[in-house]
Chains A and B, each alone.
Chain A
Amino acid sequence: MIRLDNTSGGAVAAAIAAERHRMGSAATGMVLSLLILSDEEYQADATAAAVNAARQHPMRIVTLIPRPSRNEPRLDAEIAVGGDDGPGEVAVLRLRGQLAEHANSVAIPLLLADTPVVAFWPAEGPDVPSEDPIGRHAQRRITDCATADDIVRELARRKEGYRPGDTDLAWTRLTPWRSALASVLDRPAGAMSGATVSAEEANPSALLLVSWLSHSLRVPVELVASDGPGITEARLSTGEGDIVVSRSNGSTALLSRPGIPDSRIALPRRDLAALLSEELRRLDPDEVYGDVITHLELP
């Protein structure tokens, strides 16, 4: 970890290049630049998760932490390149004074040439991510509704502000559930008449699951409160009986189908690094998320 106090975006970029050179390795193979915009509370976890995800997606991670104050504008940086933590490059930048409002000017010289840019707001994101000064650089903009105090309001903002290229980690968290349910329906089931999702309260993923199921299956889908953790059950009602995937322990689900003895499905909850890795696998717009968020019906 190298500290650069009272520095500039260009100087940070030069310091990263110099460090690479000193280690005898060229900065090849980087596939993207990730801009993380966060307050102090969330920055450490988000950066650590990104460093972890960089094992799968070698990238430059730039964490921008606005620290508005009346003091002189000033940029302080910590950088780390390669090494035991994985192949990525990390710059954690504190933007003090008025500079806090000009994160964009710091980010520009730090973007890798000719590679995709992804923006990530681990806590509260902007109203319209694609119009945010940082978000504008990015072809993929990641928010996380689950960190909001009022998740219904937050989902409404995501819905209002949605532009292709936006995604939300509440959606990413659903992938194992969606994959399990889709696999179950690879076996032809009778005509579907309805579905129920049970989840602990204020779980944004559950609302997205309801929206996805109702639009894909074209049946009414009900949301029921449970003790959690997270989503605990998805029940599909068919002419032949109910197909139920239920998970009460957050890791293994039980699958019940009419006429077949129950079986288990591994359905673990994943950490932030795994979610980010999934998120970075594809950088083109996630159209299915687009449909789900724009058609989301909020309570």
Chain B
Amino acid sequence: MSPHRHAAPSGNPLRNPLDQRLPRVAGPCGIVLFGVTGDLSRKKVMPAIYDLANRGLLPPGFGLVGFARRDWEDQDFAQIVHDSVREHARTPFREEVWRQLAEGIRFVAGDIADPEAYLRLKGVVEELDASRGTGGNHAFYLSIPPGLFPPVLEHLKTSGLAEDRPDAWRRVVIEKPFGHDLASAEELNRIVDDVFVPGSVFRIDHYLGKETVQNILAVRFANTMFEPLWNSNYVDNVQITMAEDIGIGGRAGYYDGIGAARDVIQNHLLQLLALTAMEEPLSFAADDVRIEKEKALRAVVLPRELGKHTSRGQYANGWQGGIPVLGYLEEEGIDPQSATETYAAIRVDVDNRRWAGVPFYLRTGKRLGRRVTEVAVVFKRAPHLPFAKTAVQELSNNALVFRIQPDEGITVRFGSKVPNTTSVQVRDVTMDFEYGESFVDSSPEAYERLILDVLLGDPPLFPRHQEVELGWEILDPVLDYWAAHGQPDQYVSGGWGPQSSYEMVARDGRTWRRP
């Protein structure tokens, strides 16, 4: 082997940058999980940890510590993990992988407010370093209500658990919501940044872990075909949609008072907007991508007359896909006077040379026609059509659609001649690239990807606090306006939103795509 090939950046002689086969495996480390009895832990986090182990991406001797107010032994917690893995893991259950993982499972019983519990936790973490070789590297995953972050962070700090050493890292993982407005987000960021350095804080926006979201950047910047059209000369408008067909389910406590805009637009949709609108980053290094995303978000402006360019609604009772459903105000646990919106749509503009005059429509809602998330770039019509008017009646705008979920992929819509007509007749056709068709099976769950990135310390997929705050800066005026203007409109369950949402785009001479 030629000597220059030995430049292994990690100093590990067996890691060769040219090696195509060795996966990026997390170095020695462990995860401390708070909120192990919660929904998120059981359905997403613990199964993803197993899936990573199954794919050989966790280090030998990996440690998993659970923390909860339960009178459990290690084995009891292991049983919880086992059940959650059995039920929710993506990859098949393999006894040998489970045994490898189970050896590193520990449990600490305690109350979040009890300083003693953190000293016990510290003891367990140190025991893992000694018995499993986790090397002092630990990520604290806070899968708990955000109201509990301050006491947990406080105790992590005072107990010394949060302390970075030059040869060992400590990281913290937090879940959305990152506040409910700018002021609360800043407060939360202050608390977190007081305990962990910014590079050690991983905010999970699981959308950003989806392969298809990352594919927006690949499609835009790895090809020549699209980027020349990616501006106001060719683009008429951009529509970013995240629709759910379900209602709030059992999450009344979480949802009421929060609403669709805070839950989805502030984070997911604005992130999608940033990826769609941003300029080419210098590189795909975390900081370079973040700089461009931030620039795009900084350029976002709201319309002057918010009443005309936004829409919000609450689902009314009705039928959805053949099943009778309750209206939002009738759901259990919801105040019948609630002004929380379950549908929100806003127009924003990206005030820079590339996008001047191109409206970006963001919409999200519950109990809509079907479950779909997509980014649709709708192009202008051809400036001149050398066909008879009747020939192009069925032709609409060309469009490029990133389908984020389900049926991940890309759709291109363009006009084509209808076969077997005596005169030329043009009609819309779509060309589909199905992500799962070319890359079947290879698509890991977003949480696998994100947890591995946390352990590798690779942050490009995690929003920094600046982005979170920018999101609130954009959204806060809309929320204030809505708060001062009465109730949301009612909309029929199973449709595509309130009448006001149609009017809002019609005012601009546009229509929503039916996703």
Contact = CB atoms under 8 A, between A and B. Distances in A.
B22 A175 contact: yes
A179 B12 CA distance: 12
Interface in A27-80: 28-29, 31, 55-58
A127 B469 CA distance: 63
B96 A263 contact: no
Contact of B13 (A180, A185, A268, A288): A185
Interface in B12-45: 12-16, 18-23, 25, 27-28
B434 A186 contact: no
A187 B22 contact: no
B175 to A, nearest CB: 28
A216 B16 contact: yes
A265 B100 contact: yes
A286 B61 contact: no
B433 interface: yes
A257 interface: yes
Interface in A54-113: 55-58, 87
B21 A260 contact: no
A260 B14 contact: no
B56 A179 contact: yes
Interface string A263-299: 1111010000000001001101011100110010000
B132 A263 contact: yes
Contacts of B103: 263-264
Counting chain A CB atoms within 10 Å of each CB, the highest count among B60, B96, B433 belongs to B60
Given A182-B22, A263-B103, A266-B94, A28 B433 contact: yes
Contacts of A261: 131-132
A278 B21 contact: yes
B92 to A, nearest CB: 11
Contacts of A148: none
Interface string B83-105: 00000000000101101100110
A188 B60 CA distance: 14
Nearest to B12: A185
Contact of A186 (B10, B53, B56): B10
B237 to A, nearest CB: 28
Given A56-B440, A179-B23, A251-B96, A266 B53 contact: yes
Contact of B60 (A28, A265, A282, A288): A265
A178 interface: yes
Most buried by B among A184, A257, A295: A184
Contacts of A268: 94, 96
A298 to B, nearest CB: 17
B287 to A, nearest CB: 24
B14 A176 contact: no
A181 interface: yes
A264 B53 CA distance: 12
Contacts of B434: 28-29
Nearest to A286: B20
A266 B1 contact: no
Contact of B437 (A58, A183, A188, A260): A58
Nearest to B2: A291
Contacts of B433: 28-29
Interface footprint category on B: 35 or more
Interface in A179-223: 179-188, 192, 213, 215-218
A260 B20 contact: no
A87 B440 contact: yes
B280 to A, nearest CB: 24
B135 interface: yes
B284 to A, nearest CB: 19
B179 interface: no
A187 B21 contact: no
B94 A282 contact: no
Please classify how large the interface on chain A is, using the bins under 10, 10 to 19, 20 to 34, 35 or more. 35 or more
A252 interface: yes
A186 B438 contact: no
Contacts of B20: 281-282, 284, 286, 288
B100 A182 contact: no
Interface in A234-269: 251-252, 255, 257, 260-261, 263-266, 268
A216 B1 contact: yes
A118 B283 CA distance: 32
A160 B222 CA distance: 38
A144 B16 CA distance: 24
Nearest to A57: B440
B130 interface: yes
A175 B21 contact: yes
A28 B437 contact: yes
B441 interface: yes
Contact of A216 (B14, B53, B133, B440): B14
Contacts of A58: 437-438, 440
Nearest to A189: B12
B455 to A, nearest CB: 11
Contact of B438 (A29, A182, A265): A29
A178 B22 contact: yes
Nearest to A288: B19
B23 A188 contact: no
A263 B60 contact: yes
B94 A184 contact: no
Contacts of A216: 1, 6, 13-14, 16
Contact of B100 (A213, A217, A252): A252
Closest 5 CB pairs of A and B: A29-B437, A182-B14, A252-B96, A266-B96, A291-B1
Interface of B: 1-2, 5-6, 10-16, 18-23, 25, 27-28, 53-54, 56, 59-61, 94, 96-97, 99-100, 103-104, 130-133, 135, 432-434, 437-442
28 contacts: A31-B438, A31-B439, A55-B440, A56-B440, A56-B442, A178-B21, A178-B22, A182-B25, A185-B12, A185-B13, A185-B14, A187-B27, A187-B28, A216-B6, A216-B16, A217-B14, A252-B99, A257-B133, A260-B61, A260-B130, A261-B132, A263-B60, A263-B100, A263-B103, A264-B60, A266-B54, A268-B96, A295-B1
Given A263-B133, A266-B96, 9 more contacts: A29-B438, A87-B437, A181-B14, A185-B13, A260-B133, A264-B100, A266-B53, A288-B18, A292-B1
